[in-house]
Structure 1
Amino acid sequence: MRKHITSISNPLVKHLLLLQKKSKLRKSENEFIIEGVQELNYAIEAKYTLKQVLVCNDVFENNIQLDDLDCEVIDISQDVFEKIAYRSSTGGVIAIAETKNLSLKDLNFKTKSPLILIAEAPEKPGNIGALLRTCDAANLDAVIIANPKTDLYNPNIIRSSVGTVFTNSIATGSTSEIIDYLTKNSIYIFAAALQDSSSYLKEDFTKATAIVVGTEDEGLSESWRSQAHKIIKIPMEGKVDSLNVSVSASILIFEAKRQRLNH
């Protein structure tokens, strides 16, 4: 018989609420929250380890086989669900899962000419989520976050990425660690920046390629600009000289994909 939680004062409910809010707790406990049927399905496909799945049967969309899950399944009341849910349209299911290491050494490429996006020090969950959605749509070989300022298991990133934080192959590291990794693996570095740059339309992205983008406010650090094989830009014809990072990344990624389809 499954456990049933009806009180918002239950210790597990309090723990879950803290996991949603506190990055330090997520890191110390190696746990995070997954909310939503689609997001949970993606995490299961990516072989994330689930610890508990909380289900509100009043709103549960029965397209996950709960009996097949290798974890504790707990029924919760609608009051509890409304207390812990970020949004109402999540199918009535919330899970606690174990984080992954996200180490560079764990990346495995299926091709000899991988296409990788590297984002240096992105901070806004909405931008990170948009980047991950683009990378999923383009089926990139990997996404690497350099000098991360935001915990990738932040609920806002999971939500804004519509679960593609689980569908992408992701790693994190310092800028110097990532540059060393790219060099050792003979991956060509294209850094997106305004200074001393040429149009991205003149470049060949069919070899093993890393496209590196920075934030709109700060741009890329000198380390990336000095170590890049080429510095590229998207020509601007209006008044502004830059685009949102997720928009810029999308343009560069899909040009690389176009070249590879025609190669």
Structure 2
Amino acid sequence: MPEYRRILLDGAVFEVIREGDELVAADGRRVKIAEAHHLPPVVPSKVVAVHLNHRSRVEEFATSLPPAPTYFHKPTSALNAHGGAIVRPDGCKYLNYEGEVAIVIGRTCRNVSPAEAGDYIAGYTIANDYGLHDFRDTDAGSMLRVKGSDTLCPLGPGLVTDWDFRGKRLRTYVNGEVVQDGSTDEMEWDMHYLVADIARTITLYPGDVLLSGTPANSRPVQPGDVVEVEVEGLGRLTNHIVIGPVAVRDDCGAQPTTSEEVLSTALGGDWEFRGIRAPQRT
């Protein structure tokens, strides 16, 4: 399966192809993967993410799926890459990982059926759909700051074409320990369905990204942690957590909170899907 990456090579952006443990540019230059400065493997005009899709996460929430998927938007300013630092703003506590498969659109897509959607997909990469749940009490429904703050959308390391999404294992690691362990087979709506659903009313352009959902056990990480998402056939996306040098401004806007809703979401439930009062946790 061909794998393409985007890197910064001698000050310029290059698309390269992976050959073993090296990346090869069109002009013949080679760089070791371990030494490469990675960029997001694609340049999307938009990133759309499904709220809830994996059955293990549904069971964790003690809820049921809606009759059709619902979505939110991550701005492109949140993009990050393999090896990049994920910034938790000073004064925030609840930055959660969410390992996912990312769908990358290959050609303009609008009003297609699920059976046709695969013809519009360029390939797949790995995403970590980080959530800054300290802002869960604000931006109700959109989750703009929760999911869209700077650095919270790492993609990579590469774009893999001709990858069959069925029956693939997804794992997330924190400091080498497995914290999420799921499969694409536990998704209620597969990759083709998600593309067709969004493209009913929203035109998808080449490079656009759809995030397909995360399995159970999204939890907060701390500055200094190394977080890796591994997907069978797609490789491993690695990032590290740092604390921002300045606190979120307090002279405007809603401030980070530690409400019951925030704790419920960050520590294993999700208020907007449960429909019941979250249990107290110690």
**TM-score, normalized by the shorter chain, greater than 0.5:** no
Q: TM-score normalised by the shorter chain: which range applies? A: under 0.3
TM-score (normalised: structure 1)? 0.24
TM-score (normalised: structure 2)? 0.22
More strand by share: 2
Higher relative contact order (CA closer than 8 Å, sequence separation 6+): 2
